[in-house]
Structure 1
Amino acid sequence: MQNGLSVDVEDWFQVGAFERTIDRADWPTLECRVEANCDAVLKIFADAGVKGTFFTLGWVAERYPALIRRIVAAGHELASHGYDHKRVFAMTADEFAADLLKTRAILEDIGGVAVRGYRAPSFSVDARTPWAHPVLAEQGYAYSSSVAPVVHDHYGWPQSPRHAWRPVTGSDLVEWPVTTARFAGRTLAAGGGGFMRMLPYGFTRWAIAQMNAEGHPAILYFHPWEIDPGQPRVADASIRSKIRHYSGLSAMAGKLKKLLADFDWTRADALLPAQQQRAAPWQAAA
């Protein structure tokens, strides 16, 4: 079974773990490493012969247009990650709509391709944002991968389905949640990122195999900074944030290469027709 391979294109200082430590106004003054890290990811993908989806911040695309064109030229899908990593539940519906429009215009102008997919920063579509999926549908997005159906202190919508679902009646929009696994009656986050870095490789491999055994493709995500152990350290961040951000950086590239060899991977949009066919309607209880 083919699985969805995705990259959340953002730099080390734009992550949720540091949003209370690093001011957005200071971003232009910090060492940017996203271009070099993305090029390293592109090489890993090329060496493995796989294509993926790059959910990209508009802020990054504006500053590194040549990188965006290299992503597209290599045959990968270009998708939206919002403009500057502001969480969806921190916006109003109108602000969210404006963020979507601004980012899509930037990406499509630079990349020269249609943008059909969206991933919310920090999986921040949840029960607090009942307007998010309707706004995405109104703007013609084909799919979103913005929900984490887990309990987590930064995000999560544990009541939502684990597999692809239709959030808006009368729309073709599909929500493809980040991959989870079931164990002892609990739903475990297992789709990549920090969970992939900090836990043994066998856990991620088991979770993907379980999702495939259920008859569904997994969707893996990670960030370019996660394969960069030499990135700057944020001295005044909390201990929890430091553990989350810096643990396992040196092992991540090796784990990624193993996963690319152990499973079959492709762009998220290549799997969309099957996801649309099998996705069942679901709406949260009022």
Structure 2
Amino acid sequence: MGAVKTPQITNGLSVDVEDWFQVGAFEKVIDRSQWSSMSLRVEDNVMRILDLFDEADVKATFFTLGWVAKRHGPLMRRIVEKGHELASHGYDHGRVFNFDRKQFAGDIKLARMILEDAGGVKITGYRAPSFSIDSRTPWAYLELAEQGYAYSSSVAPIVHDHYGWREAPRFAFKPLPWSDLVEIPVTTAILGGKRVAAGGGGFFRVLPYAFSRWAIRQVNRDEQRPAVFYFHPWEIDPGQPRVGHAPVRSKLRHYTNLDKMAGKLGELVHDFAWGRMDTIAYREAQLAGELPSEETA
């Protein structure tokens, strides 16, 4: 009798929908007042991503800026028609730790209103720009819960020069003991006894694909948990404009391996089982009685 095969875990696949000039690496050299005059490339890039997902027969979540949705309504409807989840990435990529609670409340309310109008669906998921929910923003989850969000995927439980909440749990947790709201951090793996980023973005572009494959397998096999992976539409666009006056570090962070990203994503979507983040959140919420709260994790 053959060995029993372990059922494949469905991982969370997500796209943070923002254009090339809206990224954290350029926030100090491209002012928001300049955005409307920039070349918009996000629609073509998202259409390429939708084709990739169709070919691999996978569904994903598109965490989208309200600023983008306001200008690309038909694209939002296309995402929904393809069976993917439309979710909020805030309005204009403002980091949560730069807001107070009132400002944050206004940002997520405006973004949600625009997204729901554009996509014709209820928005229940949120991802903070640059994973900017951390120990400085205890009110953020209160506001998300009060506005009716079902889940957030806004925490990177690592140390990073732009973001990170080192003390946060690595896997889904309840940030509020009285609420059903679930936080699902982006994936980390354990290497040499330390947490390392393994959930996509620049780390995925720069490091060999073998690292990401190893890390996701570790999370699925050894810890029996879903991985959470993310990337951006501009990361598959090597022809995007260059910001010559940006700091060297920012340019290295943004432009490295853009020409290799689409090929690596093609491998990734075929090597693992993928699904929408709301599906992952629902399954994690079913475990809510077993999930730790942030205070005890």
Following TM superposition, by how much is the alpha carbon of 1:9 offset from its aligned partner in structure 2, in angstroms?
0.3
Q: Does 1:218 align with 2:218?
A: no
Q: SS of 2:21's equivalent?
A: helix
Report the number of matched residues.
Answer: 285
The equivalences for 1:204-283 within 5 A come to 204-213=212-221, 214-279=223-288, 280-283=291-294
Specify the code of the residue in structure 1 equivalent to 2:161: D
Equivalence map 1:84-103=2 (5 Å): 84-103=92-111
> Contact between 1:61 and 1:68, CA under 8 Å: does it hold in 2?
yes
2:162 alignment partner AA: H
Q: Does structure 2 conserve the Cα–Cα contact (< 8 Å) formed by 1:160 and 1:284? A: no
- Report deviation, 1:169: 1.5
Equivalence for 1:171: 179
Alpha-carbon distance in structure 2 between the residues aligned to 1:233 and 1:113: 36
Displacement of 1:277: 2.5
Q: Which residue of 2 aligns with 1:22?
A: 30
Q: Which amino acid aligns with 1:228?
A: D
Q: Which residue does 1:125 correspond to in 2?
A: 133
1:188 aligns with 2:170: no
The SS at the match of 1:168 is coil
Residue 281 of structure 1 deviates from its aligned partner by 3.0
TM-superposition CA deviations, 1:245-277 (whole Å, max 9, x none): 000101100110101110000111112222112
SS of the aligned residue for 1:86 comes to coil
Q: Given the two structures, how large is their TM-score scaled by the length of structure 1?
A: 0.98
Query: Counterparts of 1:281 and 1:142 in 2: how far apart (Å)?
Result: 17
What do residues 37-89 of structure 1 show as CA deviations (whole Å, max 9, x unaligned)? 00010000011111100000000000010100100110000000000000000
Tell me, in whole angstroms, the C-alpha distance in 1 between the residues paired with 2:148 and 2:220.
29
Unaligned runs of 5+ in 2: 1-8
Contact 2:169–2:294 at 8 Å: present in 1 too? no
CA distance in 1, matches of 2:287, 2:246: 43
2:134 and 2:293 map into 1 onto residues whose CA distance is 13
Q: Distance in 1 between matches of 2:71 and 2:240?
A: 19
Code of the residue aligned with 1:273 in structure 2: it is Y
Q: Distance in 2 between matches of 1:281 and 1:143?
A: 15
- Between the aligned partners of 1:155 and 1:182, the Cα distance in structure 2 is 19
Q: Distance in 2 between matches of 1:183 and 1:265?
A: 24
2:147 counterpart (125, 139, 149): 139
Q: Indicate if the aligned counterparts of 2:155 and 2:164 stay in contact, CA closer than 8 A.
A: yes
1:198 corresponds to 2:206: yes
Q: How many Å separate the matches in 1 of 2:141 and 2:249?
A: 31
Q: Which runs of 5+ in 1 are unaligned?
A: none
Q: Which residue of the partner structure matches residue 6 of structure 2?
A: none
8 Å Cα contact 2:17-2:63 kept in structure 1: yes
Cα pair 1:79 1:118 within 8 Å, conserved: yes
TM-score of the pair, normalised by structure 2: 0.94
Once the two structures are superposed, residues 18-43 of structure 1 have per-residue CA deviations (whole angstroms, 9 ceiling, x without a partner) of 00010000000011100000001000
Runs of 4+ residues over 4 Å off in structure 1: none
Aligned-residue RMSD, C-alpha = 0.9
Q: Which residue identity does 1:119 align to in structure 2?
A: R
Cα drift, residue 284 of structure 1:
4.5
- Does the 8 Å CA contact 2:174/2:292 hold for their aligned counterparts? yes
Query: For the residues of structure 2 that align with 1:155 and 1:272, how far apart are their CA atoms?
Result: 23
Give 1:283 deviation, angstroms.
2.7
* Structure 2 residue identity aligned to 1:185: G
Structure-2 residue corresponding to 1:151 = 159
